[in-house]
Amino acid sequence: MSGLLGVRLLLLWGCACLWLSSSASGALVISRHDEAIQERRGAARSLQKRSTNEVMVEVHSVTVDCTVTSRFAHTVMTSKAFNKANSSQEIFFEVELPKTAFITNFSMEIEGQVYVGEVKDKEKAKKQYEKAVSSGQTAGLVKASGRKMEKFSVSVNIAAESNVTFVLTYEELLQRKLGRYELLTRVKPKTLVQDFQIVTNIYEPQGISYVDAHATFLSNELLPLVEKTVTDRKAHISFSPTMEQQRKCPGCDGTLIDGDFIVSYDVKREKNLGDIQIVNGYFVHFFAPELPKLPKNVVFVIDISGSMSGRKMEQTREAMLAILQQIHEDDHFAIILFDSVIETWKDSLTKATKENITEAMDYIRRMHSRGTTNINDAVLTAVNMLVKDRQMERLPDRSADMIILLTDGMPNEGESNTGKIQENMRTAIGGNMSLYCLGFGNDVDYSFLDVMSKQNKGLARRIFEASDAAAQLQGFYDEVASPLLLEVDMHYPDNAMDSLTTSHFSYLFNGTEIVVAGHLMDNDLDNFLVEVVGQGLEEDFRVQGQVSAADWDVFYPDEEYIFGDFTERLWAYLTIQQLLDKSKSGTPDEKANTTAKALDMSLQYSFVTPLTSMVVTKPETEDSTSSPLIADKLTEEQRQQAEKMTYNYIPAQSYPRHYQPAPAYFVDGDPHFMIELPDRGDALCFNINNKPGTIFNLVRDSNSGILVNGEIIGDKKTPPDGKINTYFWRFGIVHQTLGVRLEVSTEDISLFQDGKWVKLLWSDAASIKGSNVDLLVTKDRSLTVTLRDSVKFVILLHKVWKKHPYHRDYLGFYTLDSHLLSPGVHGLLGQFYHGINYEVAHLHPGKVPEKPDATMYVKGQELNVTRYTKDFSLEVFACKMNFKCVVAVFVLSQCESSK
């Protein structure tokens, strides 16, 4: 192996962890070029002293104006800012909005000129997208943010002493869950604002039963500022603190406004027929009667494969114990545990008596993780159990049959073809029961679960791998725990309307609501008879009545101008959502037809959906011509993929829960190196670009005899942006003193010890304890290497969708207990194990507002650097570590690569 020694130029990049609350559904952030200065701590304070403290961008106003009309929410977020500097400045506008919402408008007003976004067919916008990417501009304005949100962001260069006004509008139909509607807005202005205001107006002709408003950031002083006025059919909520009231403390520039503003409410329900609203030729029917609960028959199918070990298994056990205690005594239930083997608690469903619940809880307490994942046979076992019990008349006639599947990985035992599994489930279930799929963590094929659920009268839900995973599981069960009606049909006169949304529903659950909308062929309501039928507890449910439209002019005599075409837009929103769901299943022709209809309606109503893009053209500046930006709508699969690329996980189950890790040193990604410097409250990050096949020396400790090399691999082919990404795909670890050799690739793991080779597969959940080295393999996730009386390494396997056109599976390498290596350790990671001396000074605005530039002095070199923050959350040993990073063009004298 020939070596290339000497100096290598590395681009250091970095990120400060900003762990966002996942409970929010909307957000507003106004950032400026100096915001990084305002939040510096520790060693970074010296940078602030050497830079200007004058705020050159003044935020005049931040306004959130929301109007909810019969559950349809129309939100407008507006911000006005002024550039006080005597030179141009780049101002950054950022909003987090619910992932269920559709952006409908975005505009910027600069020096009297208005720039408006235009919604286009995504394919037609593709050329502009590719042009923006190839020129190095930001092309995607929308990114995933947390569980429920997506982030819209744009920046614009503003001339000296000029104003800019940003306006973003989005719309959504609020869904009733657990007996209430919830409107969440995240606000994070990051600075004091002269005019800050949140206003919500709710109009519900049915009548409002209650309204609650609160915020996560409200102190005792701010609480009285939330004004709430509620009449029979209208609610007005406002929050408008002055600049002094926004301050964290007297004389401080920091703001208290940082978090979620939440409005929840419900409406009065007096008629079993429900409520119908008719405006401008479109109607919407809301149906949520108060009825006795139906018994249910539920089979819990729980994945106990190796990847569920540790914290996941603990959380699943915790959730199941809580759920079992809530099962109603009239319900029947069963438990199936599966890995490569299918294990049933009992051969049939059991009534939820106290004795049976106690026995089931003892069974759950004893479950533990083991082999591979056989989803097909596990779910078929549940189906057959329900079918057999129905045939044997062991279950009540009027009861709901459902299967709840919890899995965290891909099917890799038995039938592994996901399309075939979906076909098997559809054939076996035959529309006679519902299948709910819960995907735990980021390694599941969510699209597979989503389609399979929708094909079988159910739905899929992602369970995020976090400290509240047990609460997420229990929360989902609460939503489906109380069915009220089965096979609900909403009937309307055929000759009175067209363009009806879905009108058949397999279930109506307590605390939810059925919504149907359509277009009236005329406004003659004399023969508009509505009928609702379904299967109730003791007999068939049937209610009918003549429609009498609410008189909006009477209910709201001074505000009729507000409502306009809300029923039509509600109908369009609901129709598009349902078409997008239908486009995921069916024949190719059916998929094509529903996709085409959804696209046409998205364009007609200017909704940014997964089929459309909003093209925003930024104004020309002295330095550049006008540049197009593209705002897209993310699918759940795209969100999941983005999270996989953003977050790196080291499995907590391999270590004691309260273990406090030493500083982290790792490489993971493209490849991205991360060096934590806890004594400085900082971190260094860098990226290496080289040809695929290059072998890099990561760790070299001659005193202990440890050597670690890594080889990079490139994308399958050149992506549209022309940039080939590289990743580590193979690592070699040698301990010459102990006689240990280990080679780890994305395909397998080979260990040489005591004169022989041992080979392991990533699909195994295995543990090897040797005289000089211990290996622990968590199936398809991680390998922990513990060298005797020495350092510990963790290698993560990142699996990419096999059919991905460009990317491949890759590995991440993490060093733990690095203090056990000698002071003479070298290599790309090794040189940092015992610290590094550097100084960063002369902070000044950079090309991007949130990334100020500075100068770094290190190893006798004077380098240009960039410091900025980025969401980069690393879960290590169940502890979250947050980093600030410095980005630099940095010369390393100890780097070595060889081919």
CA 230 – CA 208 distance, rounded (Å): 8
CB-neighbour burial class of residue 673 (10 A; exposed 0-12, middle 13-18, buried 19+): buried
Element containing residue 318 per DSSP (H, E): helix 311-326
- Residues 464-479 have a mean pLDDT of 87
What sign does the CA torsion over 542, 496, 595, 170 have?
Answer: negative
Residue 66 CB: number of other CB atoms within 10 A? 21
User: Whose CA is closest to 636, among 574, 584, 600?
Assistant: 584
For the cut 90, the answer to whether the pLDDT of residue 138 exceeds it is no
For the domain bounded by 296-481, which CATH number is listed?
Answer: 3.40.50.410
Instruction: Tell me the residue type at 595.
Output: T
Which architecture characterizes domain 57-269+611-617 according to CATH?
A: Sandwich (2.60)
For residues 488 and 660, the model is more confident at 488
How confident is the model over 252-271, as pLDDT tens digits?
Answer: 878 888 888 999 999 998 77
Task: Check residue 401 and give its pLDDT.
Answer: 96
In the β-sheet with 208-215, what is the strand arrangement from edge to edge? Answer: 142-145, 149-158, 89-98, 27-31, 181-188, 259-267, 208-215
Residue extents of the structural domains in the chain: 57-269+611-617, 280-291+485-605, 296-481, 673-887
CB neighbour list of residue 126: distance below 8 Å, 6 or more residues apart: none
Q: Are 337 and 304 in contact (CB under 8 A)?
A: yes
* Least confident segment among 364-368, 649-653, 670-674: 649-653
For residue 44, the 8-state DSSP code is: G
User: Whose CA is closest to 894, among 657, 699, 607?
Assistant: 699
Task: Check residue 679 and give its pLDDT.
Answer: 57
Phi, psi dihedral angles at 403 (to 5 degrees): -120, 130
CA 230 – CA 263 distance, rounded (Å): 13
Q: Kindly indicate the confidence band of residue 131, based on its pLDDT and cuts at 50, 70 and 90.
A: low
Q: Kindly indicate the confidence band of residue 805, based on its pLDDT and cuts at 50, 70 and 90.
A: confident
Percent of the chain exceeding pLDDT 90 equals: 38
Total number of residues shown for the chain:
899
Q: SS3 sequence, 126-164?
A: HHHHHHHHHCCCCCECEEEECCCEEEEEEEEEECCCCEE
Instruction: Tell me the residue type at 870.
Output: K
How confident is the model over 863-883, as pLDDT tens digits?
Answer: 677 765 543 333 332 222 333
Q: Which residues of 505-540 are buried (b: 16+ CB within 10 A; e: fewer)?
A: bbbbbbbbbbbbbbebeeeebeebebebbbbbbeee
Q: Is the peptide bond before 671 cis (omega within 30 degrees of 0)?
A: yes
For the cut 50, the answer to whether the pLDDT of residue 898 exceeds it is no
CB neighbour list of residue 286: distance below 8 Å, 6 or more residues apart: 70, 71, 206, 274, 275, 276, 277, 513, 514, 515
Q: Kindly indicate the confidence band of residue 654, based on its pLDDT and cuts at 50, 70 and 90.
A: very low
For the cut 70, the answer to whether the pLDDT of residue 441 exceeds it is yes
Task: Check residue 844 and give its pLDDT.
Answer: 73
| Separation of CA 825 from chain center | 40
H helix intervals, 544-611? 552-555, 566-582, 588-604
Angle between the 588-604 and 566-582 helix axes, to the nearest 10 degrees? 150
How confident is the model over 152-203, as pLDDT tens digits?
Answer: 888 888 888 889 999 999 999 999 999 999 999 988 888 889 999 999 999 9
- Token pair for 870: 């980025």
For residues 485 and 190, the model is more confident at 485
CA 695 – CA 713 distance, rounded (Å): 10
Angle between the 375-391 and 418-429 helix axes, to the nearest 10 degrees? 0
- Residues 580-592 have a mean pLDDT of 86
Phi, psi dihedral angles at 580 (to 5 degrees): -65, -40
H helix intervals, 772-858? none
How confident is the model over 221-262, as pLDDT tens digits?
Answer: 888 899 999 998 999 999 999 988 888 888 787 888 888 899
CA 822 – CA 830 distance, rounded (Å): 10
Task: Check residue 792 and give its pLDDT.
Answer: 86
Phi, psi dihedral angles at 764 (to 5 degrees): -90, 150
Residue whose token pair is 């101002």:
91
Antiparallel, parallel or unpaired: β 627-632 and 612-618: antiparallel
